[in-house]
Chain A
Amino acid sequence: NAGVMQNPRHLVRRRGQEARLRCSPMKGHSHVYWYRQLPEEGLKFMVYLQKENIIDESGMPKERFSAEFPKEGPSILRIQQVVRGDSAAYFCASSPNGQGTNYGYTFGSGTRLTVV
């Protein structure tokens, strides 16, 4: 039973390019959360998704960032026209039903995005 799979582990993009980060939740988990960790800073919530629905995107920057979790396939965090300030580690977590208190969250290993 594989854990939360994120890919790629490392991603280098030039300014202005698009970055697509993928997250496959644990088997049986239908709730996905994305978090960002800027260099020398703590983790910050970005977005919470269920299959085909965005539940809470209050942590997402208003422009250039979008997220989806389709019926089939992984959740995708998409960053358009990347800038140097987007360089960070992006972590995904999943849970079976959104009730972290009872069932916990499983984190992926993260995607380290570097914008050059």
Chain B
Amino acid sequence: KNEVEQSPQNLTAQEGEFITINCSYSVGISALHWLQQHPGGGIVSLFMLSSGKKKHGRLIATINIQEKHSSLHITASHPRDSAVYICAGETSGSRLTFGEGTQLTVNP
């Protein structure tokens, strides 16, 4: 079983919709990262969370440590948000363990 599981694997939305991507992780992960990867492009770090909630523009990330669960929300989605969103757990020693990614497509 992977240490980090995210869902859904694929998500299609209409422009303007509210989007949620979920991530569950196992024991031993001290912080949760959300990353964005565009086709053919590099990886951008969106958030790091060890507790609570963080917001940046239209992106919101939350984490529930007791339930070992994190969510990434996108408000007022736009076609330029189309990308793969990856959650990654940070273990001791600073290595990241990645989920399989969620392919998000936002249609105009």
Residue ID in chain B nearest A58 by CB atoms: B95
Question: B97, A45: Cβ atoms under 8 Å?
Answer: yes
Q: How many Å lie between the Cα of A105 and that of B48 in the bound state?
A: 9
A42 touches B48 (CB 8 A): no
Tell me if A73 is interfacial: C-beta within 8 Å of chain B: no
**Candidate in A35, A42, A45, A108 with the most chain B CB atoms within 10 angstroms:** A42
How far, in angstroms, from A101 to B96 measured CA to CA in the complex?
Answer: 11
Q: Give the Cβ gap from B73 to chain A, nearest Cβ, in Å.
A: 20
In order of increasing CB-CB distance, the 8 nearest A-B pairs are: A109-B42, A107-B43, A101-B31, A43-B98, A42-B100, A98-B94, A45-B95, A42-B98
Q: Give the secondary structure class of B's interface.
A: strand
Interface residues of B in 3-20 (CB under 8 A from A): none
B96 in contact with A42 (CB, 8 Å) = no
Size class of the A contact interface (CB-based, 8 Å):
20 to 34
Beyond A91-B43, A101-B31, A110-B43, 6 additional pairs, beta carbon < 8 A:
A43-B88, A43-B98, A45-B96, A100-B31, A101-B50, A106-B45
B binding-site residues for A, Cβ under 8 Å: 30-31, 33, 35, 41-45, 48, 50, 86, 88, 90, 93-101
Q: Which residue of A lies closest to B88 (CB)?
A: A43
Give, as a whole number of angstroms, the nearest-CB distance from B98 to chain A.
4
A95 within 8 A of B: yes
Q: List 15 A-B contacts (CB under 8 A).
A: A31-B94, A42-B101, A43-B43, A43-B96, A43-B98, A44-B98, A45-B95, A48-B95, A59-B95, A100-B90, A101-B90, A104-B33, A105-B96, A109-B42, A110-B43
Q: Which residue of B has the minimal Cβ distance to A107?
A: B43
Q: Contact check: which of A100, A106, A110 meets B96 at CB < 8 Å? A: A100
User: Could you say which of A44, A59, A101, A107 has the most chain B C-beta atoms within 10 Å of its C-beta?
Assistant: A101
Complex interface: chain A residues within 8 A of B43 (CB): 43, 91, 93, 107, 110
